[in-house]
A and B are shown apart, each in its own frame.
Chain A
């Protein structure tokens, strides 16, 4: 978190210095009205999974865009979820003879924020940093199975291993957008997100690529 904040702060400084200088000869990327892209990412942290979504941005000032980022992280289960599930599985096995369990915590999120495009002397490379906030629904998807029949006769799930919560989310990101022709772009980026769950905060790291259009 500290590293990411420092990175973004540095980027902001570079951006500010750059914006104080005379504009480059090429047309700034932010002079487009905006962009829309689909994103495929690798999500990593306690577990590694995939994330899919999309991002739309609209230029409100030169080099400043307002964006909306929404997507699904297939699994962001923290260590505590697996530890609790293992404890419960052992308890079921004590009564039922044996038990298996499967732990997954998908996160569906939506974030609105501001993207700052850092002007460079390379017209086909548009680095950026962004910060946004929104909400994320965290679903605790823990299942138990036993060969002794219906598992509900052996366990009552609490909300620590079932159900879902919707909480606030902060997202910080950085990346490089590469225009392809006049209408397309490729976006390689990293996003750090923190979901303010009722227990420990849930950290989600995403790194991936997006493909979209500029308009």
Chain B
């Protein structure tokens, strides 16, 4: 047999058969590239039946990435519903790119409070959409809203002692709020970039206050605000409107009241300027204004001197009030007193229960006042 003919027959015939077979190749799957296989992702966060505080929103859903045999361009779809059958979907997040750390997350919009939610996710990759992850449930706690605290005092423009009582009206609340506390902040600018003092105080009756535990620098302007907090539920109010105040030095009477641990004028504050009266030193004219215990012989009573009533009367005299006006101002401004003024020429004293406040030399304007224990 001719060698060339034989070879052509052998090779040519076989190649024709292969070519025919290749050209006629059919497939039960899509022609060209195959589609990928995709597993369900594993839901990891929030944990099953997690309780989420309303204030902790927005919630982030996280799944462990699905296994995808053709893993380029995998995306995820997340669904949140109020029923296990997902008939009532409240949020759907599609096309979420797969995370590179083995997990994929999506942040939800704020959900309504006091409800159970069910969520699931599935992956799409390699032209195949995988099954949903097992359904997970979480509960969003009820919404708790705190109103904004309303400042009582000091209000803007006030002049205060170095330890003013910062007071706000208690907030109103919506929802099952827990114990409320108030964060008081004092700053040297209205921007509150530098908070020089702050404290958290338990809620009082109707109002809540804070008195600084140390003196603020005098003759300076400060700004303060208060924010209500429900720590158990992670809720806080908006800060109260910012108020300003300017500190002034304590009067002599206020300093002694402070030593007694008391506020001389917890309510209305008297007008006037200081420098119109002097406290008499202990000696031949009186017992002096230092804190001490004195003895009232007619009643066989030991008593503290000075008390708030004496200090308030002196403070008003120091602010330029005459004795009669001082007694009147106290009785009409919430500081009731039984003091009586015995004017010159017989006397120049203010009679109290155990003592007299005596104007030395009967000079009661810009005079010196002594504490004299009564003997009758």
Binding site for B on A (CB under 8 A): 12, 15-16, 19-20, 61-64, 66, 84, 87-88, 90-92, 94-95, 111-114, 116, 131-135, 152-170, 196, 198-199
Q: Can you list 8 contacts pairing A with B, beta carbon distance less than 8 Å?
A: A64-B6, A94-B42, A114-B10, A133-B21, A155-B40, A160-B126, A167-B25, A168-B23
Is the CB of B11 closer than 8 A to any CB of chain A? yes
- A163 near B29 with CB under 8 A, answer yes
Is the CB of B18 closer than 8 A to any CB of chain A? yes
- A94 near B67 with CB under 8 A, answer yes
Please list the 8 inter-chain residue pairs (A to B) with the smallest Cβ-Cβ separation, ordered nearest first. Answer: A91-B67, A133-B18, A168-B22, A91-B39, A159-B29, A133-B17, A158-B35, A131-B14
- A168 near B18 with CB under 8 A, answer yes
Of B52-60, B129-137, B263-271, B290-298, the one contacting chain A is: B129-137
Q: Contacts of B129 on A, CB cut-off 8 Å? A: 156
What's the nearest-Cβ distance from chain A to residue B154, in Å? 62
- B36 near A155 with CB under 8 A, answer no
What's the nearest-Cβ distance from chain B to residue A8, in Å? 10
- A160 near B22 with CB under 8 A, answer no
Quick one: which of B13, B67, B126, B131 has the most chain A CB within 10 A? B67
- A163 near B28 with CB under 8 A, answer yes
Measured CB to CB, the nearest residue on chain B to A87 is B67
Q: How many residues of B contact A (CB 8 A)?
A: 51
Q: A61-B1, A94-B64 are in contact. Are A114 and B22 (CB under 8 A)?
A: no
- B20 near A133 with CB under 8 A, answer yes
- B14 near A156 with CB under 8 A, answer no
Alpha-carbon separation in the docked complex, A176 to B175 (Å): 92
Q: Contacts of B23 on A, CB cut-off 8 Å? A: 168
Is the CB of B37 closer than 8 A to any CB of chain A? yes
Q: Contacts of A162 on B, CB cut-off 8 Å? A: 37
Measured CB to CB, the nearest residue on chain B to A137 is B28
Alpha-carbon separation in the docked complex, A112 to B14 (Å): 8
Q: Which of B334-348 contact A (CB under 8 A)?
A: none
Is the CB of B15 closer than 8 A to any CB of chain A? yes
Alpha-carbon separation in the docked complex, A66 to B171 (Å): 100
What's the nearest-Cβ distance from chain A to residue B109, in Å? 27
**Cβ-defined partner of A113 (8 Å) among B1, B14, B66:** B14
Q: Contacts of A168 on B, CB cut-off 8 Å? A: 18, 21-25
Measured CB to CB, the nearest residue on chain A to B70 is A160
Q: Contacts of A84 on B, CB cut-off 8 Å? A: 37, 69
Q: A158-B127, A160-B37 are in contact. Are A62 and B1 (CB under 8 A)?
A: yes
Alpha-carbon separation in the docked complex, A206 to B364 (Å): 129
Alpha-carbon separation in the docked complex, A131 to B7 (Å): 12
Is the CB of B304 closer than 8 A to any CB of chain A? no
Is the CB of B101 closer than 8 A to any CB of chain A? no
Q: Which of B116-156 contact A (CB under 8 A)?
A: 126-131, 133-134
**Cβ-defined partner of A199 (8 Å) among B14, B34, B134:** B34
Known: A92-B39, A94-B42, A155-B38. 20 other contacts (CB 8 A): A20-B3, A64-B6, A84-B69, A91-B40, A92-B67, A94-B39, A133-B17, A133-B20, A133-B21, A153-B131, A156-B37, A156-B131, A157-B128, A158-B34, A158-B69, A158-B70, A159-B30, A163-B29, A165-B29, A168-B21
Measured CB to CB, the nearest residue on chain B to A139 is B28
Alpha-carbon separation in the docked complex, A164 to B28 (Å): 6
- A156 near B17 with CB under 8 A, answer no
Q: Contacts of A61 on B, CB cut-off 8 Å? A: 1, 9
Q: A164-B29, A198-B32 are in contact. Are A87 and B69 (CB under 8 A)?
A: yes
